[in-house]
Amino acid sequence: MRIRTIVATGAGAALMLGLAACAGGGAGSEGGSSADATSGGEPAADAGGLIGVAMPTQTVERWTQDGEGVKAGLEEAGFEVDLQFANDDIPTQQQQIENMVQNGAEALIIAAIDGTALSGQLQAAADAGIPVISYDRLIRDSDNVDFYVTFDNFKVGVGQATSLLTGLGILDESGAETGEKGPFNVELFAGSPDDNNAGFFFNGAMSVLQPYVDSGVLVIPSEQTEFNTVATPGWQQETAQTRMEDLLTGSYVGTDLKVQGVLAPNDGLARGIITALRNNGYPETIADGFPIVTGQDAEIGSVKLIADGVQYSTIFKDTRNLAEKAIEAAEAFLAGETPEPNDTETYDNGVKVIPSFLLESEVVTADNLESVLVDSGYWTAEEVASGQAS
Ligand code: BGC
């Protein structure tokens, strides 16, 4: 997986940075000193500068891919990279960013653990004139965030909820209502409250689901519907599994009710929820009556569950493209320019609206898994079959 991602991202980055790479005739030389840059003829902009890349954790597959992808692309462009993962520990991430500033990083690319906990570190970065790119998750409560690259997170939630309705048969493939009125028993889960994305995912999803709750097509037997009640601190899979078990015990066991659908905000939580349902004797597959469970990230373990007819959907966010956008932004800043946003309204971090570049995501089900994930080279057919990244 690691190598495949690097190759894919490196190739993408090389395309994107085609001019610089060609002009440099062997850019990406180790150390990338200015001597290297000039000896190639045309100097690559700021080749050799150190860029700090701070990622939250390696326990969620995507962050490893993101980190390695950003690193490979930056190295390809001739930069040095300090890539750090913080094990989902806020003080560790704060310390890592402090070190990056002290070690002379010329730009920072940060996927924050707690979006509100980095103000001090970012002030130090600003004092040293270091541009900060917020990666995937918005960094909040700081003036010192220069650009934000992410996916359209509200639309991710819309996609999750729409697929839940499609899986239940309330909508057809074209998104039109089928006339199916249920009622269907569903339960809601949200991500970590300290992650700014989690609210966007949940609000996007509820913008689609709420009318069906209001009209009685969807019923939430637990009556747990508030973001803070359904949130999952730290995006912990075990927490989601335990909450699903508690919901079953509290609202289903001993009644005639069965869970028919679950809004799961990402694949890790979906797998925790699926385990809880399996442990409670739910059927093996959707075809046999297993509930419709959503997800996000196209993690290989969940992609296999989708192929096996257990998990209904995931959201594919091509992190290779996100890595490219972050690299592009860092390059622009280091060349004394400003990266081009495509959204200057949505992401207010509490101090100011951060100019953002939003990428699109895609709903994946068993029907389009191959064309979206395999044909694009994101996963190979063998990886999907085994459920393991190679
Ligand atoms: C990301 C998701 C990820 C989640 C948990 C969110 O900020 O956008 O892709 O599943 O964090 O790591």
The pLDDT tens digits of the residues spanning 121-154 come to 999 999 999 999 999 999 999 999 999 999 999 9
The amino acid that residue 15 corresponds to is L
| Distance from C-alpha of 327 to C-alpha of 70, rounded to nearest angstrom | 7
Average pLDDT over residues 344-351: 96
Task: Please check whether residue 193 is in contact with residue 231, taking contact to mean a CB–CB distance below 8 angstroms.
Answer: yes
Mutation probe of ligand 1 site: the residue of 149, 196, 297, 356 with most atoms within 8 A of C-beta = 297
**What band does 48 get if pLDDT is binned at 50, 70 and 90?**
confident
pLDDT of residue 47: 60
| Distance from C-alpha of 381 to C-alpha of 363, rounded to nearest angstrom | 19
Work out which ligand 1 atom sits closest to the CA atom of 266: 10
User: Helix 119-127 vs helix 90-102: angle between axes, to the nearest 10 degrees?
Assistant: 10
Could you tell me the distance, in angstroms and rounded to a whole number, from the CA of residue 180 to the centre of ligand 1?
32
7-28 per-position pLDDT tens digit: 344 333 333 333 333 333 233 3
Residue nearest to atom 9 of ligand 1 (CA): 297
Work out which ligand 1 atom sits closest to the CA atom of 197: 7
3-class DSSP assignment, residue 134: strand
CA dist 93 to 64, 72, 180, Å?
15, 21, 48
Could you tell me the distance, in angstroms and rounded to a whole number, from the CA of residue 267 to the centre of ligand 1?
9
Residue nearest to atom 12 of ligand 1 (CA): 60
| Distance from C-alpha of 363 to C-alpha of 357, rounded to nearest angstrom | 20
Could you tell me the distance, in angstroms and rounded to a whole number, from the CA of residue 39 to the centre of ligand 1?
42
3-class DSSP assignment, residue 147: strand
Mean pLDDT over the full length of the chain: 90
Residue nearest to atom 6 of ligand 1 (CA): 197
Could you tell me the distance, in angstroms and rounded to a whole number, from the CA of residue 58 to the centre of ligand 1?
12
Could you tell me the distance, in angstroms and rounded to a whole number, from the CA of residue 232 to the centre of ligand 1?
12
Nearest of 301, 249, 308, 224 to residue 270 by alpha carbon:
301
Could you tell me the distance, in angstroms and rounded to a whole number, from the CA of residue 359 to the centre of ligand 1?
14
Cis previous bond, 183, omega within 30: yes
Please list the residues that pair with 365 across neighbouring strands: 313
274-319 per-position pLDDT tens digit: 999 999 999 999 999 999 999 999 999 999 999 999 999 999 999 9
203-213 per-position pLDDT tens digit: 999 999 999 99
Query: Domains in the chain, ordered, with CATH?
Result: 2-145+319-359 (3.40.50.2300), 153-316+381-386 (3.40.50.2300)
Ligand 1 site, CB within 6 A: 60, 62, 136-137, 191, 195, 197, 235, 266, 296-297
Mutation probe of ligand 1 site: the residue of 110, 114, 152, 235 with most atoms within 8 A of C-beta = 235
> How much of the chain, in percent, has pLDDT values that exceed 70?
88
The pTM for the full model equals 0.88
